[in-house]
Amino acid sequence: MRLLWSITAAAAGVSLLAKVLVDRFLMNRIPIIGSFAGLQYSLNPGVAFGIRFPPFIQELLIGAALLAVLWLAIRSTRSLLPPSYQLRATSYELILGGGIANIIDRLPDGVVTDYFQIGTFPVFNVADSCISIGVLMLLMEMLVWRRCKT
């Protein structure tokens, strides 16, 4: 359980540090691979991929999703043995850390700071990356577990 909180805190901390640096120093787009990829300051009032809901419903959905992930993390990691525990626990830790960072970012003004721009994909941030990587790790773990089980 201690590991759950340390990686969650690290993911949230790195995400929030990146947000502070971007807010302070990223004034103009910085190309990394020409116009295809770069750092671009963007404020996102919506949830994943800029999808928006009415304000009260949006906050309710975000909070409910975070609580559901926390409940699943605690419930599923208690019943696992290593090494399954490690992969699943790390997946949940990344999701929780990214979610917490985005909530903290949203608190003052209702928007999340995004800054990674790749092609036509919606602009995203470190917290979004943590969430996406965590979800992909859970999917991989489920596929490997099912394959080993059969």
Lowest mean per-residue pLDDT among 24-33, 45-54, 123-132, 141-150: 141-150
Check 23, 105, 109, 128 and give the catalytic one: 128
**Measured torsion, CA atoms of residues 11, 13, 18, 23, in degrees rounded to the nearest 10:** 140
Q: Is the pTM of this model over 0.75?
A: yes
Task: Give the integer Cα–Cα distance in Å for 116 and 106.
Answer: 17
SS3 of 83, please?
A: coil
Instruction: Write out the residue range of the structural domain in which residue 63 sits.
Output: 2-149
Asked if 114 is an active-site residue, the reply is yes
Active site residue 23: no
Number of domains in the chain: 1
Starting at the edge strand found earlier in the chain, the sheet holding 30-33 runs 30-33, 37-44, 112-118
The alpha-carbon radius of gyration of the chain (Å, integer) is: 17
Give pLDDT tens digits for 89-118. Answer: 889 999 999 999 999 999 999 899 999 999
From the candidates 23, 105, 109, 114, give the one annotated as an active-site residue: 114
Distance CA 147, CA 150 (A): 6
